[in-house]
A = this chain, B = another copy of it.
Amino acid sequence: MASTGTRKTTPADITAAAVASFEGCADPRLRELMQSLVRHLHGFATEVGLTEEEWREMIVTLTATGHITDARRQEFILWSDSLGLSMLVDALAHALPPGATESTVLGPFYVPGAPQRSYGESMVVEPGAGIPAWVYGRVLDVSGAPIAGAELDVWQNGADMLYAVQRPEAEEDHLRGRYLTREDGSYAFVAVRPVPYPIPDDGPVGRMLSATGRHPWRPAHIHMIVRASGYKTVTTHVFDAVSEYLDSDAVFAVKPSLFRTFVERSPDDPERPPSVDGEWVSLENDIVLARAEDGEDGGAVVDPGRTA
């Protein structure tokens, strides 16, 4: 007997069978997720006519991604970031009222447990970290009323383009700190002017960026997570409004509402903070928080691969 004469199995038959295999899933949300994932994965492969060689290349790339990922490096999150998926998930999660400060990516360099610092205190632990910056403003609700006791959990890179967590020899509390707002909602701290930096590009994501003609750079920014009782937590950045790469952030995290201007100040400016010598800059940045809804404690993203 040669062929049984049975009709050939088509690509559409295979997609239908894979989708149907989840019909018995008792958890309706998990069923929805798996069936949608299968439909979209199959839709991708069918649309491009994915070849066996391309499929093998994808398996090799995923395997390399798995093997470079460890407690200090999360290449799967880097894929999610560099394909815009992290920002999309952020946008889907945070439907904010008009006027509230927009969220953006947490990024891979957040480490919980930064030290609590007082109003105006410097978070520059290692000297020579960059041009000193006096960062100040208020935390407000959407009606403009000040929020006292809000916490700003702040971290940034220095002039060497690195976060402290990237340098094993670094002082661990360098360029990070937690600040509380005063009764009038005001906060202030001494930072440095941030600089653009490349995302880690010596792995599979870097090879993709290079092969597709994309660069790995992010525009200059300071990270903050702002928390206050009764309000939605916001994970956000302040972007230097004149930085390079604002129009081509490698992780699609730029939102124009987060642009702020570093103002150049002279050494003899009477507002110069006591801890600062020489040239300095200042940056004003108000944060507007939305009220939390029932049973909600806000939008802080915790990076599963990097945080303790």
List chain A positions with a Cβ less than 8 A from chain B. 1-6, 8-11, 14-15, 17-18, 21-22, 24-27, 30-34, 36-52, 54-56, 59-60, 62-63, 65-67, 69, 74, 76-77, 80, 83-93, 96, 98-102, 140, 144, 208, 211-214, 248, 252, 255-257, 259, 284, 286, 288, 299, 301-302, 304-305
Whole-angstrom CA separation of A32 from B54 in the bound complex: 12
Copies of this subunit: 2
Q: Are B286 and A30 in contact (CB under 8 A)?
A: no
Name 13 A/B residue pairs within 8 A (Cβ), A-sorted: A2-B99, A4-B256, A8-B96, A8-B255, A14-B91, A17-B84, A31-B212, A34-B208, A46-B88, A52-B301, A62-B66, A66-B67, A66-B69
Q: Please, which residue of chain B has its CB at the minimum distance from the CB of A284?
A: B1
Residues of B contacting A51 in the complex (Cβ-Cβ under 8 angstroms) = 89, 92-93
Whole-angstrom CA separation of A54 from B93 in the bound complex: 11
Given A15-B88, A22-B212, A92-B46, A2 and B40 touching (CB < 8 A)?
no
Q: Are A92 and B304 in contact (CB under 8 A)?
A: no
Q: Please, which residue of chain B has its CB at the minimum distance from the CB of A55?
A: B89
Q: Are B66 and A2 in contact (CB under 8 A)?
A: no
Q: Max chain B CB contacts within 10 Å: which of A25, A40, A208?
A: A40
**Which one of B40, B86, B140, B257 lies within 8 Å of A8 (CB-CB)?**
B257
Interchain nearest-CB distance for A305 vs B (Å) = 6
Whole-angstrom CA separation of A305 from B96 in the bound complex: 45
Q: Are B84 and A18 in contact (CB under 8 A)?
A: yes
Q: Are B302 and A50 in contact (CB under 8 A)?
A: no
Whole-angstrom CA separation of A11 from B88 in the bound complex: 6
Residues of B contacting A21 in the complex (Cβ-Cβ under 8 angstroms) = 84, 214, 248, 252
Residues of B contacting A66 in the complex (Cβ-Cβ under 8 angstroms) = 62-63, 65-67, 69, 76
Interchain nearest-CB distance for A152 vs B (Å) = 16
Given A66-B76, A252-B18, A89 and B50 touching (CB < 8 A)?
yes
Whole-angstrom CA separation of A289 from B161 in the bound complex: 59
Q: Are A63 and B52 in contact (CB under 8 A)?
A: no
Q: Are A63 and B59 in contact (CB under 8 A)?
A: no
Whole-angstrom CA separation of A46 from B36 in the bound complex: 10
Interchain nearest-CB distance for A59 vs B (Å) = 5
Q: Are B60 and A304 in contact (CB under 8 A)?
A: yes
Whole-angstrom CA separation of A200 from B4 in the bound complex: 32
Q: Are A11 and B92 in contact (CB under 8 A)?
A: yes
Q: Are A37 and B83 in contact (CB under 8 A)?
A: yes
Residues of B contacting A26 in the complex (Cβ-Cβ under 8 angstroms) = 213
Residues of B contacting A8 in the complex (Cβ-Cβ under 8 angstroms) = 96, 102, 255, 257
Residues of B contacting A212 in the complex (Cβ-Cβ under 8 angstroms) = 22, 24-25, 27, 30-31, 34
Supply 9 further A-B pairs (C-beta < 8 A) apart from A25-B213, A40-B47, A41-B83. A2-B140, A5-B257, A9-B102, A14-B88, A27-B211, A36-B44, A50-B89, A50-B92, A60-B304
